[in-house]
Structure 1
Amino acid sequence: MSINLELPEKLNSTVERSRLAAEHIFRPISRKYDLAEHEYPAELDELGKLAKAARANERAEGKSETDAAESTVNGANLRSVLNARELSWGDVGLMLSIPGQGLGNAAIAAVANDEQLERFADVWAAMAITEPGIGSDSAAVTTTATADGDDYVINGEKIFVTAGSRADHVVVWATLDKAKGRAAIKSFVVPMDTEGVSVERLEHKLGIKSSDTAVVRFTDARVPAENLLGSPEIDVKKGFGGVMQTFDNTRPVVAAMAVGVGRAALEEMRRMIEESGHPIDYDKPVAIQHAAVADFIRLESDWEASWLLTLRAAWMADNKTPNSLEASMSKAKAGRTVTELTNKAVEIGASDGYAETGLVEKWARDSKILDIFEGTQQIQQLIIARRVLGKSSADLK
């Protein structure tokens, strides 16, 4: 398998549009909504409309066309990671708050059939997986979906639902039959105005304060059977594979968010180091340069590796190549790198890095969630080990 790392020209407009939004919309209001937690960023409404129009144009033009010269596809996944990287450089919490670009939208793109893709094309979908007491074990879902005629009736509680109070739909993971284990877990697209769906509270958080994080309860919430994503059949041999495809799409996007925040911190680190009289010289051995320069060069190389892993995972998803290993590798590397990088920026900045006069301390707080949601660092390493060693979840826990 070979990958041309030159980005296709057709994606230049995505990068440019996102970069302008990050610089001229996100950065100027970044601190404002960090301090005004739970206040809706009304400045994003127009951006949401533009994003919706762009998606409509992409569908009309056929956004996943084949590049004839290389017989590869550069489609929705590559576009998503480029968009996430650029916008997160501006503000990752605001990126998560753009109308119509929820994590649930990536879940729909991962497993929906053609009819569902068309029907849910313009929804804003949050994603509800985590529950009280189950930690990072997605297979321990206790929310139930009970078949009743042409509907499913959903009961349960979900926590840490990003955009849970703002999105108009939510993708819910629920079990059809607890006795059949993880194979019975399916995902459902549920309109937030469905009777029995309620937002119980909003969380106060360490970072990404401009993004709402909700507790959502489902009490006899009835949804049509055609809102189930993927097959309704419980295939014990296939196991958890159906809904887990969601993560193969969303983990590279989260990795790209980490790359975007990391780039912001790297740029500020470079400025602080060079203004203190220590130029970064790539021609000299690291060992004879200032300690801060050595840290910068090491972290910059880790950052580059994170981005290359992310590109690979997204490219594989676009080309219908199994990428569970690569998606977890990108998420693990990028999540670990961005937390180390932003904390080092605070350290090097000293009082300036710790104060609210700049954004360095905010990036350090924001970055931590990027190493946690969509699967913690420990979970990613476990998945990687299973794939590399050929072990099942039962063999390696």
Structure 2
Amino acid sequence: PFVVEAGTPGVIIAKVEEKLGIRASDTASIIFDNARIPADNVLGDAEVKTGAGEKGFKGAMKTFDSTRPIVAASAIGIGRAAFEFTRDTLAKEGVKIEYGKPRWKLSSVQADLLEMEAQLRAAWLLTLKATALLDAREENKLESSMAKAKAGRAVTMITQKAVELLGPLGYSTELLVEKWMRDAKINDIYEGTGQINTLIVAREILGYTRNELK
């Protein structure tokens, strides 16, 4: 992998994509036409430049251990906004979460709200653990993938449920709820999909290599 600076001759932005969500961040198709990239722009050490080993590639891949908790935190922010807005809106209509009651005594809406909150808190705690290890410069491959996989799936569920519970109001573009739902899914895709991160978690827990568990 390498870094390409803006304005490099031979680098052409072919198309800026129209996307479902995160529209404030451009995603573009890029063409390299005889572009020359300085050796200093290659990520990793000399081994990756000469092909002598995998250390450079592994080092580049290890950056995911730092970026996955960031994506998880982003997902939690979106999920929290959707959950709190839905909870507060329904509370104004007399539908409130009743903590301490058996699940079978709750209405379906109350049960959904509790599940949304539970998923949000679980993702938050996993992300706290992953970032704490990162701050301490300790190994966090397992925890970062756990946090990313959990948060990506949780925010997708939470935002979809918010739209459902709020009915026409949730589906309307007058509110941010539908935008949160559109922005949520990418958190389950980039920095490794939910499936990839679940696979990494399984390898780390079971002690398998990439070749042993694909």
**Same-fold call, TM > 0.5?**
yes
- Higher helix fraction (1 or 2): 2
Aligned partner of 2:17 in structure 1 is 203
Give per-residue Cα distances to partners, 1:335-375, cap 9 Å, x unaligned. Answer: 00000000000000011011111111111111011111111
Deviation at 1:308, TM superposition (A): 1.4
Aligned partner of 1:246 in structure 2 is 63
Which of 341, 359, 364 pairs up with 2:181?
Answer: 364
Deviation at 1:298, TM superposition (A): 1.6
Matches of 1:318 and 1:196, distance apart in 2: 39
Query: 2:164 touches 2:170 (CA, 8 Å); kept in 1?
Result: yes
Are 1:321 and 2:149 an aligned pair? no
Aligned partner of 1:126 in structure 2 is none
Q: Larger relative CO (CA 8 A, sep 6+): 1 or 2?
A: 2
Moved more, 282-291 or 322-331: 282-291
2:61 counterpart SS class: helix
Aligned partner of 2:28 in structure 1 is 214
Aligned partner of 2:164 in structure 1 is 347
Matches of 1:359 and 1:238, distance apart in 2: 44
Aligned partner of 2:127 in structure 1 is 310
Change in 2 beyond 3 A, CA 1:235/1:305: farther
Matches of 1:370 and 1:206, distance apart in 2: 13
Q: How does 1:206-285 map to 2 (within 5 A)?
A: 206-233=20-47, 234=51, 236=53, 238=55, 240-285=57-102
Give per-residue Cα distances to partners, 1:261-297, cap 9 Å, x unaligned. Answer: 0011011110232122122121322321221111111
Aligned length: 211
Query: 2:67 touches 2:191 (CA, 8 Å); kept in 1?
Result: yes
Aligned partner of 2:109 in structure 1 is 292
2:179 counterpart SS class: helix
**Could you tell me which amino acid in structure 2 is paired with residue 358 of structure 1?**
L
Deviation at 1:240, TM superposition (A): 4.1
Q: How does 1:328-343 map to 2 (within 5 A)?
A: 328-343=145-160
1:191 counterpart SS class: coil
Query: 2:45 touches 2:56 (CA, 8 Å); kept in 1?
Result: no
Deviation at 1:241, TM superposition (A): 1.6
Deviation at 1:331, TM superposition (A): 0.5
Query: 1:255 touches 1:370 (CA, 8 Å); kept in 2?
Result: yes
What are the ranges of 5 or more consecutive residues in structure 2 without an aligned counterpart? none
Give per-residue Cα distances to partners, 1:87-112, cap 9 Å, x unaligned. Answer: xxxxxxxxxxxxxxxxxxxxxxxxxx
Matches of 2:69 and 2:142, distance apart in 1: 11
- Higher strand fraction (1 or 2): 1
Query: 1:273 touches 1:293 (CA, 8 Å); kept in 2?
Result: no
Matches of 2:119 and 2:181, distance apart in 1: 17
Matches of 2:59 and 2:65, distance apart in 1: 11
Aligned partner of 2:203 in structure 1 is 386
2:156 counterpart SS class: helix
Query: 1:278 touches 1:290 (CA, 8 Å); kept in 2?
Result: no
Matches of 2:16 and 2:54, distance apart in 1: 39
Q: How does 1:144-163 map to 2 (within 5 A)?
A: none
Matches of 2:54 and 2:43, distance apart in 1: 19
Structure 1 ranges of 4+ moved more than 3 A: 234-240
